[in-house]
A and B are shown apart, each in its own frame.
Chain A
Amino acid sequence: MIPFPTARTAAGAGPVSSAPAAAKAHVAIREATRSYVARDTGRPFHALGPVSFDLREGEFFSVVGPSGCGKSTLLDLIAGLCAPSSGSVHFEGRQIAGEVPDGVAVVFQEDASFPWLTVYDNAAFGVRRNGLPEKEIRERVDHALSFMGLAGFANAYPSQLSGGMRQRVCIARAMVLRPRLMLLDEPFGALDQQTRLLMGEEMLKLWRDTGSTVMLITHSIDEAVLLSDRIGVMSSRPGTFIDIVETGWSRERDCKTALDPRYGALQAQIWGMLREESIKAMGVKP
Chain B
Amino acid sequence: MIAAALPHEAVGQADLKHAWLRHRVAVLRAAVVALAVLLLEAATRLGWIDQVSFIPPSRMAASAWHILWSGTYKADILLTLYAAGLAVILAVTFGFLFGVLLFKLPRLRRVLDPLLLSYYAVPIFVLYPMLIVLFGLNRWPLVALGFLFAVVAMAVNTLNGLERVPAVLLRTARMLRLGRAQEVRLITLPASLPFVFTGIKLAIVYSFIAVIGGEFVLSGAGFGYQIAYAYNNFDNPTMYGLMLLLLVFVGALNLLLHAMEQRLYQRRVLKELT
Interface size class of A (residues with CB under 8 A): 20 to 34
Residues of A within 8 A of B270 (CB): 159
Whether A116 touches B267, Cβ cut-off 8 Å, given contacts A110-B166, A111-B168, is: yes
Contact indicator per residue, chain A 193-217, by CB within 8 Å of chain B (1) or not (0): 0000000000000000000000000
Q: How far is the CB of B271 from chain A (nearest CB, A)?
A: 4
Q: How far is the CB of A161 from chain B (nearest CB, A)?
A: 9
Q: Which residue of A lies closest to B179 (CB)?
A: A129
Whether A159 lies near B271 (C-beta < 8 A) is yes
The stretch of B67-75, B131-139, B170-178 that contacts the partner chain = B170-178
User: When the two chains form their complex, are residues A81 and B268 in contact, meaning their CB atoms are under 8 A apart?
Assistant: no
Are B168's CB and A106's CB within 8 A? no
A108-B168 contact, Cβ under 8 Å, with A81-B174, A100-B174, A159-B266: yes
B residues less than 8 Å from A100 (CB atoms): 174-175, 177
Q: Which residues of B contact A112 (CB under 8 A)?
A: 166, 168-169, 171-172
B11 to chain A, nearest CB (A): 21
Closest A residue to B271 by CB, please name it. A159
Q: Are A81 and B267 in contact (CB under 8 A)?
A: no
Output the residue of A108, A111, A112, A125 with the most chain B CB within 10 A.
Answer: A112
**A157:B267 contact, CB within 8 angstroms:** yes
Contact A159 B176 (CB under 8 A): no
Which chain B residues border A79 with CB–CB below 8 Å? 175
Known: A114-B187, A114-B190, A116-B190. A129 touches B267 (CB 8 A): no
0 or 1 for each of A109-148: is its CB under 8 Å from B? (1 = yes):
0111011100000000110010000000000000000000
The A241-280 residues at the B interface (CB cut-off 8 A) are none
The proximity string for B residues 37-80 relative to A, scoring 1 for CB distances below 8 Å and 0 otherwise, is: 00000000000000000000000000000000000000000000
Q: Chain A residues with Cβ under 8 A from B182's Cβ? A: 129
B148 to chain A, nearest CB (A): 32
Task: Give Cα A114 to B168, complex, Å.
Answer: 10
- Name which residue of chain A comes closest to B193, CB basis: A116
Q: Which residue of A lies closest to B266 (CB)?
A: A159
| Residues of chain A lying within 8 A (CB to CB) of residue B267 | 115-116, 157, 159
Smallest CB separation, A96 vs chain B (Å)? 13
A158 within 8 A of B: yes
In the bound assembly, the distance between CA atoms of A163 and B83 in angstroms comes to 48
Q: How far is the CB of A237 from chain B (nearest CB, A)?
A: 21
CA gap between A106 and B193 in the complex, in Å: 26
Distance in angstroms between the alpha carbons of A66 and B74 in the assembled complex: 73
Output the least CB separation between B195 and chain A (Å). 13
Q: Known: A114-B187, A116-B193, A159-B274. Contact between A126 and B176, CB under 8 A?
A: yes
A108 touches B190 (CB 8 A): no
B contact residues around A125 at 8 Å (CB) = 176, 186
Give A212 Cβ to nearest chain B Cβ, in Å: 15
- Distance A125 CA – B183 CA, assembled complex (angstroms): 12
Q: Is residue B151 contacting chain A, with contact meaning CB distance below 8 A?
A: no
User: What's the nearest-Cβ distance from chain B to residue A254, in Å?
Assistant: 29
A114 to B166, CA, bound (A): 10
A114 touches B169 (CB 8 A): yes
For the complex, what is the distance from the CA of A159 to the CA of B266, rounded to whole Å?
Answer: 8
With the chains together, A216 CA to B196 CA distance in Å? 37
A106 touches B175 (CB 8 A): yes
User: Which residues 156-196 of A have a CB within 8 angstroms of B?
Assistant: 157-159, 163, 166, 177
Q: Contacts A129-B182, A159-B271 given: A105-B168 contact, CB under 8 Å?
A: no
User: A40 in the interface, Cβ–Cβ < 8 Å?
Assistant: no
Interface residue? B153 (CB, 8 A): no
A106 contacts which chain B residues (CB < 8 A)? Answer: 171-172, 175
If A114-B190, A116-B191, A126-B176 touch, whether A159 touches B268 (CB-CB below 8 Å) is yes
Contact call A81/B266, Cβ cutoff below 8 A? no
CB interface residues, B 124-175, toward A, < 8 Å: 166, 168-169, 171-172, 174-175
- Shortest CB–CB separation between residue A140 and chain B, in angstroms? 15
Interface residue from A102, A115, A158, A159 paired with B177 (Cβ < 8 Å): A102
Q: Which residues of A contact B193 (CB under 8 A)?
A: 116
Given A116-B193, A129-B177, A129-B178, list of 5 further CB < 8 A pairs?
A100-B177, A108-B172, A112-B168, A112-B171, A112-B172
A-B contact pairs, 11 of them (CB 8 A): A79-B175, A100-B175, A100-B177, A106-B172, A108-B168, A112-B168, A114-B187, A115-B268, A126-B176, A129-B177, A166-B271
Interface residues of B (CB under 8 A from A): 166, 168-169, 171-172, 174-178, 182, 186-187, 190-191, 193, 266-268, 270-271, 274
